[in-house]
């Protein structure tokens, strides 16, 4: 009788353990499925954001070749890579627009937005608003002849002319504040006619504006 009770108790314990194991397995499976679904949703969201960003720049930069560079020569390799990519474009007689991230934080934020990353590296090449690649990619495409095919529609037989207004930097000191970021305004509502010094809203954070001569071309 006691043996039967022991066997019955062992059977119940085994069943309980099996049920508990099944519950754990179900919960674990649900968690895995949920995590996978969340990951897929996040991936799809990132993909949608990237597609929207690309579409925005495709409309904005139709027919243009854009290369992000830096004129700061502290990091020698970066400076050399930028010079190499620009020389490749010049050799292929391609008319391009250079955006110097050292000269303007606006270009830095713009590149972060396009690459969807906090740490950015230059040079970066874009054609018709679509990302082509960095220096390594550009050099590889140039060596196998694919870059020439890609940039053929943008080839210009006219000799590149350096802008006489900005020297090719595409940026100029602000006309309103002279690059000081201070906008002087006389307070006509005060009896003393005091002069207020306000932050200039016509230029970027370092007192520069885009060269109209370059941007109208």
Residue 182 structural domain: 171-215
The mean per-residue pLDDT over the stretch 192-203 comes to 68
Max CA pair span of the chain: 110
Are β-strands 65-69 and 182-186 bridged in parallel, bridged antiparallel, or unpaired? unpaired
Q: Is residue 120 part of a domain?
A: yes
Of how many residues is the chain composed? 217
Q: Indicate whether 146 and 182 sit together in one domain.
A: no
CA atoms within 13 A on the CB side of 158: 6
**Residue 146 belongs to a domain with what CATH number?**
3.40.30.10
Of the candidates 185, 205, 188, the one whose C-alpha atom is nearest the C-alpha of residue 196 is 185
Last residue of some domain: 104, 127, 154? 154
Q: How many whole angstroms from its chain centre is CA 52?
A: 13
SS percent in the chain: helix, strand, coil, step 5:
50, 15, 35
The mean per-residue pLDDT over the stretch 97-118 comes to 91
Q: What is the pLDDT of residues 40-99, one digit of tens each?
A: 554 455 444 555 566 778 888 899 999 999 999 899 999 999 999 999 999 999 989 999
pTM of the model: 0.65
Q: Indicate whether 126 and 205 sit together in one domain.
A: no
Of residues 81 and 209, the one with the higher pLDDT is 81
């Amino acid at each position: 009788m006691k043996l039967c009770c022991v066997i019955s108790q062992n059977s119940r314990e085994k069943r309980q353990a099996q049920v508990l194991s099944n519950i754990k397995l179900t919960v674990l499976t649900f968690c895995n499925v949920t995590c996978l679904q969340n990951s897929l949703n996040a991936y799809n969201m990132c993909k949608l954001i990237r597609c929207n960003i690309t579409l925005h720049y495709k409309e904005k930069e139709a027919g243009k070749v854009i290369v992000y560079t830096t004129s700061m020569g502290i990091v020698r390799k970066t400076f050399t890579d930028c010079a190499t990519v620009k020389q490749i474009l010049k050799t292929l007689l391609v008319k391009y627009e250079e955006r110097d991230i050292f000269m303007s934080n606006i270009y830095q934020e713009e590149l972060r937005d396009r690459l969807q990353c906090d740490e950015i590296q230059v040079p970066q090449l874009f054609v018709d608003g679509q990302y082509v690649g960095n220096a390594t990619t550009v050099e590889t495409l140039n060596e196998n002849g694919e870059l020439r095919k890609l940039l053929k529609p943008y080839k210009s037989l006219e000799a590149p002319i350096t802008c006489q207004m900005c020297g090719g930097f595409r940026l100029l000191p602000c006309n309103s504040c002279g690059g000081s970021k201070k906008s002087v305004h006389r307070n006509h509502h005060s009896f003393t006619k005091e002069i207020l010094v306000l932050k200039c809203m016509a230029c970027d954070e370092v007192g520069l504006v885009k060269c109209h001569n370059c941007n109208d071309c």
